[in-house]
Structure 1
Amino acid sequence: MRRTTTALAAAALLVATLTACQDEITTEPTKTGAAEAPAASETPADAEPTPTKTTAAKVGDTITLTGNEDGEQVDATLKKWITGAKSADDFTAPEDGNVWVAAQFELTNTGKAVYSDSPSNGAQVADTDGQRFQATYADITVGPSMTSSAKVPPGEKVLGWITFEVPKASKIASVQFALNSGYADQTGQWTVS
């Protein structure tokens, strides 16, 4: 009887652990950077209501993400996206056959805990073929790189560029970002193509 109780307890713990560790890809923006909808006076009174559809996040949009620790929450905004990023110095460049692409993220701590992370570790891009690429260290001409050691109190933010080295033939379709150096259960995804 004791073995049965122990086995049942272990099975229940395993189910609870698997349920709690479900990865989620979030593509719906919390806030959009798009222009506002027309005012009510601009819509004819007899117009049929248009059905709302889920919008995939894009450049300018914000996705609210949570981390693994209690009180960790960040509003992640993909501010800008560039292809063909140029080195800020004469010493570094992408390898032959590759180019740099870059995403400027603004991360606003909307939680109750300090956001402490290396943001570029939690970022990756995917091309239309399904290949995924991690961030690379590179200072680029369009602006400062994202800090490698962010310690952001609640209510404050951090802004910077995250650079990726990809093959010239790759057409990048999306950018992903997650807290906890990419180990958080929730990941935000923005369309860039």
Structure 2
Amino acid sequence: MALALLAPTLLGFAPGGSGETISLTGSEPGARLDVTLTQVVDPATPTGPAGPDGPDRLVATRFRLENTGTAVYRDSPAPATHLLDVDGRRFTGIDLPTTAGPSIPAAVTLDPGATAEGFVTFRIPADAEPAAVQFALDAGLADDVGQWSLPLP
């Protein structure tokens, strides 16, 4: 558990309280986003037949992204987002629509000053207890990592 939760600290971890906006930078010059986790729906219900397999459940997290940098932001937010549980397991976001609301687009392009908003979904074991959500630019590989504690108030 400790290793998974400490990894962001080693990479440039930017902590945030639940629902706070975290400013994150990417590896390219001028790459900067203000990222806000605004809502968590647990459990989430899929909009189609592609629901969780076996004893899994879905958790949907709503993000707002604002390009505050000088470069155009092009990325795929779902795989750049991770959910951590209290046992230190890490789950990668997926593009799976739920009744929680519209999914964030699979590919996002934001000019400076532009915003995007939508849900990123996670498939987790039914007995998992979510502890935090992480987001980073550059398909999740940027050194600057934002983390929000769960549950949201």
**Paired amino acid for 2:15:** T
Gaps of 5+ in 1: 1-21, 29-56
What's the secondary structure of 2:96's corresponding residue?
Answer: coil
Higher helix share: 1
RMSD: 1.0
Query: Deviations for 1:88-146, whole angstroms, at most 9, x for unmatched residues?
Result: 12x21101100000110000000000011001111000000111111123110121111
| 2:21 paired with 1:62 | yes
Structure 2 CA distance for aligned equivalents of residues 105 and 26 of structure 1: 16
Letter of the 1:75 partner, please give it. Answer: D
Does 1:24 pair with 2:24? no
SS at match of 1:77: strand
Q: Are the aligned partners of 2:26 and 2:137 in contact in 1 as well (CA < 8 Å)?
A: yes
Q: Identity of paired residues, percent?
A: 37
Q: Which of 106, 121, 135 does residue 177 from structure 1 map onto?
A: 135
Bigger relative contact order (CA 8 A; separation at least 6):
2
User: Is the Cα contact below 8 Å between 2:82 and 2:90 reproduced in 1?
Assistant: yes
TM-score by length of 2: 0.90
1:152 equivalent to 2:94? Answer no
Cα distance in 2 between the residues matched to 1:119 and 1:137: 9
C-alpha separation in 2, matches of 1:148 and 1:157: 15
Aligned 1:56-135 pairs, distance under 5 A: 57-58=17-18, 60-89=19-48, 91-135=49-93
**Structure 1: which amino acid aligns with 2:12?**
E
Structure 1 letter corresponding to 2:81: A
Distance 1:135 1:121 in 2: 5
Which amino acid is 1:23 matched to? Answer: L
Structure 1 residue 77: Cα displacement? 0.4
The structure richer in strand per residue is 2
Contact 2:42–2:60 (CA under 8 A) maintained in structure 1: yes
Partner Cα distance (2:119, 2:77) in 1:
10
Structure 2 Cα separation of the partners of residues 187 and 115 of structure 1: 16
User: What residue identity is the alignment partner of 1:26?
Assistant: A
* 3-state SS, counterpart of residue 141 of structure 1: coil
Q: After TM superposition, which residue ranges in structure 1, 4 or more long, deviate above 2 angstroms?
A: none
The answer to whether the Cα contact below 8 Å between 2:41 and 2:100 also exists between their aligned partners in 1 is no
